[in-house]
Structure 1
Amino acid sequence: MSKLAEVKELTEKGKQKLIQEAVKGALAEGNAATLVLDTMISAMGIVGDKFKRSEIFVPEMLMAAHTMKKGVEVLQPLLAGQASVS
């Protein structure tokens, strides 16, 4: 499994303790910070769809959101650098 796929899976499952290392791994594989962010956003879309279908409930959705926040903490300095260059 690629680190990018792992980031998506961990975000969907709300695995907060593992996400930062997976994000670092995805970046180390050469993926752009924006691609890693887009992957987490996509995962949150899936979480939202599952919530709409009552497949998951508020606690699971919050766990996924907190996981994404932890992942974004790793990306933030890189994304801020890209924004200032543009």
Structure 2
Amino acid sequence: MTRLKLYTAIYVVLFVSATVQVLVEGADLSYGRALGIIMVLSFVKAVIVAGYYQHLRWEPRSLTYLVGMGLLAALALTVAATYSVT
């Protein structure tokens, strides 16, 4: 029963976060500020999904670090590809 409550709470947090992202996109904010808010919310949502829905929270730390290194490598390759396009 506690898992159901936990997953329901996480679902509500993700739903509210997605709603806030849509509202930020439609708000009259500068591009940089809106992008920053949306990126922070997206990062928080990704951590929540990886931690709870993909069960990394209950896995050994070594596996969590391995997944984190893969994520950082993918991010580094994305940034490098962005700057290499001419």
Q: TM-score, normalised by structure 1?
A: 0.37
Using CA pairs under 8 Å that are at least 6 residues apart, name the structure with larger relative contact order, 1 or 2: 1
Q: TM-score, normalised by structure 2?
A: 0.37
Rg larger in 1 or in 2?
A: 2
